[in-house]
Chains A and B, each alone.
Chain A
Amino acid sequence: DAGITQSPRHKVTETGTPVTLRCHQTENHRYMYWYRQDPGHGLRLIHYSYGVKDTDKGEVSDGYSVSRSKTEDFLLTLESATSSQTSVYFCAIGDGNQPQHFGDGTRLSIL
Chain B
Amino acid sequence: KNQVEQSPQSLIILEGKNCTLQCNYTVSPFSNLRWYKQDTGRGPVSLTIMTFSENTKSNGRYTATLDADTKQSSLHITASQLSDSASYICVVSSSGGYNKLIFGAGTRLAVHP
A interface residues (Cβ-Cβ under 8 A, vs B): 31, 40-45, 48, 50, 56, 58-59, 90, 92, 94, 96-105
Complex Cα distance, B101 from A92, in Å, reads 13
Complex Cα distance, B5 from A8, in Å, reads 32
Given A31-B98, A42-B102, A42-B104, do A100 and B41 touch, yes or no (CB 8 Å)?
no
| Cβ B46 vs Cβ A42 within 8 A | no
| Cβ B101 vs Cβ A105 within 8 A | no
Q: Which of B4, B45, B93, B97 is in CB contact (< 8 Å) with A102?
A: B45
Nearest first, the 5 closest Cβ-Cβ pairs linking A and B are: A42-B103, A102-B43, A97-B98, A43-B103, A104-B43
| Cβ B103 vs Cβ A44 within 8 A | yes
Given A42-B4, A105-B42, A105-B43, do A98 and B93 touch, yes or no (CB 8 Å)?
yes
Q: Which of B4, B41, B46, B106 is in CB contact (< 8 Å) with A105?
A: B41
| Cβ B41 vs Cβ A104 within 8 A | yes
Given A90-B43, A104-B41, do A98 and B101 touch, yes or no (CB 8 Å)?
yes
Q: How far is the CB of A5 from chain B (nearest CB, A)?
A: 11
Complex Cα distance, B40 from A79, in Å, reads 29
Q: How large is the interface on B (under 10, 10 to 19, 20 to 34, 35 or more residues)?
A: 10 to 19
Q: How far is the CB of A31 from chain B (nearest CB, A)?
A: 6
Residues of A within 8 A of B102 (CB): 42
Interface presence of B11 (CB below 8 A) = no
Given A40-B105, A42-B103, A44-B103, do A98 and B98 touch, yes or no (CB 8 Å)?
yes
| Cβ A45 vs Cβ B105 within 8 A | no
Instruction: Closest B residue to A43 by CB, please name it.
Output: B103
| Cβ A58 vs Cβ B4 within 8 A | no
Complex Cα distance, B43 from A40, in Å, reads 16
Given A42-B4, A42-B105, do A104 and B99 touch, yes or no (CB 8 Å)?
no
Interface core residue of A48, A50, A98 (most chain B CB under 10 Å): A98
| Cβ A48 vs Cβ B104 within 8 A | no
Interface core residue of A40, A43, A44, A97 (most chain B CB under 10 Å): A43
Interface presence of B110 (CB below 8 A) = no
- Identify 17 new A-B residue pairs, CB closer than 8 A, beyond the known A42-B103, A105-B42: A42-B4, A42-B91, A42-B102, A43-B44, A43-B89, A43-B103, A44-B103, A45-B99, A48-B98, A48-B99, A96-B98, A97-B93, A98-B93, A98-B98, A101-B43, A102-B44, A103-B43
